[in-house]
Amino acid sequence: MPRGLAAEATALDDGDVLRAVRKEFALDDGTVYLDGNSLGALPRTVAGRLAEVVGDEWGRLRIRSWTESGWWEAPERVGDRVGRLVGAAPGQIVVGDSTSVNVFKAVVAAVRLAGPGRDEVLVDAATFPTDGYVAASAARMTGCRIREADARDIPGEAGPRTAVALVNHVDYRSGRLHDLAGTTAAVHAAGARVVWDLCHSAGALPVALDAHGVDLAVGCTYKYLNGGPGAPAYLYVRRDLQPRFDSPLPGWNSHTDPFAMDSAYAPADGAARGRVGTPEILSLLALDAALDVWDDVALTAVRTKSLALTDFFLRCVEAYAPEGRVESITPAAHAERGSQVSLRCADGAAGVMAELIRRGVVGDFRRPDVLRFGFTPLYTGFAEALRAARVLGEVLAG
Amino acid sequence: MPRGLAAEATALDDGDVLRAVRKEFALDDGTVYLDGNSLGALPRTVAGRLAEVVGDEWGRLRIRSWTESGWWEAPERVGDRVGRLVGAAPGQIVVGDSTSVNVFKAVVAAVRLAGPGRDEVLVDAATFPTDGYVAASAARMTGCRIREADARDIPGEAGPRTAVALVNHVDYRSGRLHDLAGTTAAVHAAGARVVWDLCHSAGALPVALDAHGVDLAVGCTYKYLNGGPGAPAYLYVRRDLQPRFDSPLPGWNSHTDPFAMDSAYAPADGAARGRVGTPEILSLLALDAALDVWDDVALTAVRTKSLALTDFFLRCVEAYAPEGRVESITPAAHAERGSQVSLRCADGAAGVMAELIRRGVVGDFRRPDVLRFGFTPLYTGFAEALRAARVLGEVLAG
């Protein structure tokens, strides 16, 4: 059976329509990098572009670059590039701040959009912690209460008191993909708003924000979008909601005429209303360069390969891992799977991951017992999936 | 008289103890750059360090750099470096987010520190707009009201209803330096807290946060600290207040054990409590490199040179500018002057600045009628101050 898997990996790699994209990343060290769901690999275009931004735009033009190098508009311009990857027409996404800060903006703004009597913020109970912490702060500061629910139950849990539901599109721990279309429709039917966290789906599978009428969304850009460590996050505000988007962080960058230096706040129209302070340009323009790798990539091809990779990896794990040592907590059904495989390893998971990394297979460990393997279709191949499972089997057997 | 000024400029440059520091900046294009109070010039160390961060830390080590390259602790480590420049002992400053976001954290936290019955946020009436906008949001979300007062009057205006006063150390428009020690003492005597905005003072003159018992402070790093476009801001929380610092943005980076991924929020001790989400590492480490230029620089020498530069520039303007065309709105008294000179130019100020820039003298224009000239003691010389005034005279005469 292992020999059959090797031949299959070769055939799958040979038929991979995205295979050429890998060359655009700095990945020649023999490592099997399966942590792109935490920090995406380096696109080769970034170093040169960043050197130009530093040397020429900052170093030579200095302050003039705010206008002459397009720095001022970069948050909206790069936002539109992200928009293409998450199904958002131009003018609805702005890049800047961290995901946490954007969750705060989105949840507070959603509460302010809610009708009277709606004082409940419904939160995905298994959420990445920051969303829960920040939603609790948003609730505290707007007179709401928090109620937790399993993300799968949110369609039924949203009710007449619900102002907003905050849901992860893909669960960071299990890799479970939640139903964006159905949940959005159900929350809307209950008269509430929905904020989607796209951190673990954007760039890993097609997201259709506009098509499903999502109200607000946030996400980071350093995972499947490969924007670099701590690359700025983004905020989506559906176009028709923008005139009523009432930000709790009305910094001067969101003013309709920032350089009027007016003491009275008057919010900008459009996505810029979600801006706050001066954007961290070096990180933002590194992301901008990193997005170049997406220019000729179809998200449908990414999704097809992602599912093939995770299917194949799961079969390889079954073939190589000693019986009973690991168990997948990632759903088998394609409709419920993101682009990672999470294996529960009851016995010594932290040590197993450390040894995997030592042997050149980089995933990550989430307490208390989860081994996470992220599959980035732009640069991960099938032979790598096979090797990762084989090394995992050796480590577990060892 | 002009000939005398030229000889004086030469003598002053010859006696300048900071003269050698200029070589550490990319400033060989013949421009007189007097906009370092908006965007500091590029320190030469940055390009190489950033190339290493991108190529080696992100490109080769990838996710491992969060621990192996010290990325995780960088906000506190760089915060301590900023601390040395603003009179803060280690462990009280964290770098990250924008100034606007930090104003929100600081004002909300200060309100939460206030005793019962204190529901007034006192704001410097001439503040840089973002502070006012964000303070208004903080007040709205904590049940407070905003009251504006001239920064010079805040000592007398703080009263029994005041929760916090938000004051600029140096006014961005006029360059007026406010009394940090006296204002802090007066606000404290009224039983309130004070948040200082150091954007236009840090790196331009000595700031003594600890010595004067300041409660909270914020500032940017892209002006006199030369951290690069949109470089991350910082937050100071005095050590004894940290255990009661209750952040409105409790992102996972501020958790006492972030990787426990606990659904319950438990804040970290120390400066890390002011963190929010994942920091923008490229911008943060560019700032880190930029701070190297300060290693052997004494803030007292910076202040001495700054006052000499602005004194000299004012005399040169008096010598070269046609009578009555410009008037300084920057205080003549040293104790009230930051490190910029602002000239009111009632007639065509925008066009005057555009022409100055065309002729290689870069300041900036603030509506409706202010020409701003920032003097950065690390890299601005006296002959440059003279040239700027001479060209200004020519433009005004032309």
Q: Domain check: are B285 and B314 in the same one? A: no
- The reported pLDDT for the residue numbered A237 is 98
Per-residue pLDDT at A256 exceeds 70: yes
CA distances from A217 to A102, A103, A107, A287, B334 (A): 9, 8, 10, 19, 50
Identify whether residues B82 and B192 lie together within a single domain.
yes
Span B62-109, pLDDT tens digits: 999 999 999 999 999 999 999 999 999 999 999 999 999 999 999 999
- Please tell me the distance from the alpha carbon of residue B373 to that of residue B340, in angstroms, as a whole number: 5
**Between A and B, how many residue pairs show a Cβ–Cβ distance under 8 A?**
258
B130 and B250 both lie in a single domain:
yes
Rounded CA-CA distance B226/B304 in Å is: 19
Is-catalytic flag, B372? yes
Q: How far apart are CA A168 and CA B382, in angstroms?
A: 58
d(CA A348, CA A351): 5
Does any domain span residue A289? Answer: yes
Cβ-based contacts of B62 with chain A (< 8 Å): 33, 35, 39, 41-42, 362
**Of A72, A380, A109, A398, residue with least CA distance to A237:** A109
Three-state SS letters, B222-238: CCCCCCCCCCCCEEEEC
A173 & A253 share domain: yes
Rg (CA), chain B: 22
Q: Which residue of A has its CA nearest to B254?
A: A130
In tens, the pLDDT along B253-310 reads 999 999 999 999 999 999 999 999 999 999 999 999 999 999 999 999 999 999 999 9
Q: Mind giving me the DSSP string for B106-171? A: HHHHHHHHSPTT--EEEEETT--HHHHHHHHHHHHHHT-EEEEE-GGGHHHH--TTEEEEEEESB-
Q: Is the peptide bond before B368 cis (omega within 30 degrees of 0)?
A: yes
Q: How many domains does chain B have?
A: 2
Q: Do strands A364-366 and A216-219 pair parallel, antiparallel, or not at all (unpaired)?
A: unpaired
Residue A41 resides in a domain: no
pLDDT for res A398 = 86
Cβ-contact A95, A82 below 8 angstroms = yes
Annotation-wise, does A197 bind a ligand? yes
Q: What is the DSSP letter of A336?
A: G
Average pLDDT over residues A141-158: 98
Residue B230, pLDDT > 70, answer yes
Give contacts of A 72-101 with B, CB under 8 A.
97-101
Report if residue B36 sits inside a domain. no
B177 and B256 share one domain: yes
Q: Is B40 part of a structural domain of the chain?
A: no
CB atoms within 10 A of CB A143: 10
Q: What are phi and psi of A374, to 5 degrees?
A: -90, 140
Averaged pLDDT of chain A: 97
- Would you call A252 and B128 a contact, using CB atoms and an 8 Å cutoff? yes
- Burial string for B37-55 (b: 16+ CB within 10 Å, else e) reads bbbbbbbbbbbebbeebbe
Q: Is the pLDDT of residue B398 over 90?
A: no
Give dist(CA B149, CA B168) in Å, integer.
12
Per DSSP, the three-state class of A164 is: strand
C-alpha–C-alpha distance, residues A316 and B210, integer Å? 60
Q: Which of A139, A309, A124, A314 is nearest to A224 (CA)?
A: A309
Is B223 among the catalytic positions? yes
A278·B230 Cβ contact <8 A: yes
B287 close to B82: Cβ distance less than 8 angstroms: no
The amino acid at residue B2 is P
Whole-angstrom distance, CA of residue B201 vs CA of residue B338 = 7
pLDDT digit string, tens, across residues B346-360: 999 999 999 999 999
Closest CA to A280 of A65, A97, A57, A103: A97
Phi, psi at A344, each rounded to 5°: -80, 130
Angstrom distance (rounded) from CA B234 to CA A146: 30
Is B230's CB within 8 Å of A282's CB? yes
Contact, B250 vs A133, CB < 8 A? Answer: yes
Q: In which domain, by residue range, is A312 found?
A: 2-30+298-397
Distances (CA, A) of B270 to A85, B76, B195, B254, B256: 39, 9, 18, 10, 10
Hey, is B340 helix, strand or coil?
Answer: strand
- The predicted model gives A250-270 an average pLDDT of 96
Instruction: Please tell me the predicted confidence (pLDDT) of residue B115.
Output: 82
- Check residue A178 and give its pLDDT: 98
Q: How far B368 CA sits from the closest chain A CA (Å)?
A: 8
State the average pLDDT over residues B321-344.
97
CA–CA gap between residue B389 and residue B377 (Å, rounded) = 17
pLDDT over 70 percentage in chain A: 99
Report which of A247, A108, A140 is spatially closest to residue B136, judged by C-alpha positions.
A247
- Distance in angstroms (rounded) separating the CA atoms of residues A244 and B301: 51
Dist. CA A98–CA A81, nearest whole Å = 18
pLDDT at A32 over 80: yes
**B111 has a chain A CB within 8 A of its CB:** no
- What's the rounded Cα separation, in Å, for the pair B217 and B199? 10
Residue B176 confidence (pLDDT): 98
DSSP element (H, E) containing B103 = helix B99-113
Identify the CATH number of the domain in which residue A320 sits: 3.90.1150.10
* Same-domain check for residues A309 and A243: no
ipTM value greater than 0.95: yes
Asked whether residue A392 carries a pLDDT value surpassing 80, the answer given is: yes
Q: Which residues of B touch A260 (CB under 8 A)?
A: 367
- Based on the domain organization, do A126 and A273 belong to the same domain? yes
Model pLDDT, residue B248: 98
The Cα B313–Cα A162 span in angstroms is 62
Mean pLDDT of chain B: 97
Are residues A179 and A105 located together in one domain of the fold?
yes
Known binding-site residues of B for pyridoxal 5'-phosphate equal 99-100, 128-131, 197, 200, 222, 252, 278
pLDDT in tens, B113-143: 998 899 999 999 999 999 999 999 999 999 9
Q: Which of B59, B129, B277 sits opposite A252 (nearest CB)?
A: B129
CATH number of A252's domain: 3.40.640.10
The contacts of residue B3 (CB under 8 Å, 6+ apart) are none
Identify which of A59, A63, A249 has the shortest CB distance to residue B100.
A249
Which DSSP letter does residue A97 get? Answer: S
pLDDT digits over B152-209, tens only?
A: 999 999 999 999 999 999 999 999 999 999 999 999 999 999 999 999 999 999 999 9
- The C-alpha R_g of chain A, in whole angstroms, comes to 22
The residue type of A272 is A
Q: Measured between alpha carbons, how far is A291 from A96 in angstroms, rounded to an integer?
A: 15
User: Is A40 within a domain?
Assistant: no
At what angle are helices A281-290 and A45-52 packed, to 10 degrees? Answer: 140
Residues B184 and B67 in one domain: yes
CA-based nearest residue in chain A for residue B173 = A261
Asked if residue A368 has a cis previous peptide bond (ω within 30° of 0), the answer is yes
Answer whether residue A381 is part of any domain.
yes
Compute φ and ψ for B8, nearest 5 degrees: -65, -40
Domain stop point among B244, B260, B294: B294
A256 touches chain B (CB under 8 A): no
Chain A residues touching B220 at Cβ < 8 A: 278
- Which among B251, B273, B294 is the end of a domain? B294
Is B262 in the A-facing interface, judged by CB distances under 8 Å? Answer: yes
Rounded to an integer, the average pLDDT of A269-281 is 98
Whether A369 and chain B come into contact, CB under 8 Å, resolves to: no
Q: So what's the pLDDT on residue B1?
A: 53
Residue with tokens 């433009």: B395
What length is written for chain A?
A: 398
In this structure, is residue B269 part of a structural domain? yes
Same domain (yes/no): B88, B8:
no
For the record, the structure tokens of A47 come out as: 């170093």
Task: Report the chain B residue with the minimal C-alpha distance to residue A263.
Answer: B129
Distance from C-alpha of A39 to C-alpha of A42, rounded to nearest angstrom: 9
Under a CB-based contact definition with an 8 Å cutoff, are residues A338 and A204 in contact? yes
Residue A115 pLDDT: 82
Shared domain check, B135 and B71: yes
**Strand bridging mode A364-366 / A370-374:** antiparallel
Closest CA in chain A for residue B247: A137
CA distances from B155 to A5, B128, B184 (A): 77, 19, 8
Give me the catalytic one of B22, B105, B223, B273.
B223
Q: Which of A275, A294, A313 is the last residue in one of the domains? A: A294
Is B246 near chain A, with CB under 8 Å? no
Does residue A204 sit in helix, strand or coil? coil
- Please indicate, yes or no, whether residues A248 and A337 belong to a single structural domain of this protein: no
Considering the candidates B33, B128, B312, B373, report the single residue annotated as catalytic.
B128
- Within-domain flag for B121: yes
Residue A142 has pLDDT above 90, yes or no: yes
Residue B331 half-sphere exposure toward CB, CA atoms < 13 A: 14
CA–CA distance, B309 with B388 (Å, rounded to integer)? 12
Backbone angle region of B73, left / alpha / beta, with phi > 0 → left and psi within -120 to 50 → alpha: alpha
CA-CA distances (angstroms) from residue A189 to A136, A155, A159, A185, B187? 24, 9, 9, 6, 51
Is residue A1 predicted with pLDDT exceeding 80? no
Half-sphere exposure of A65 (CA within 13 A, CB side): 24
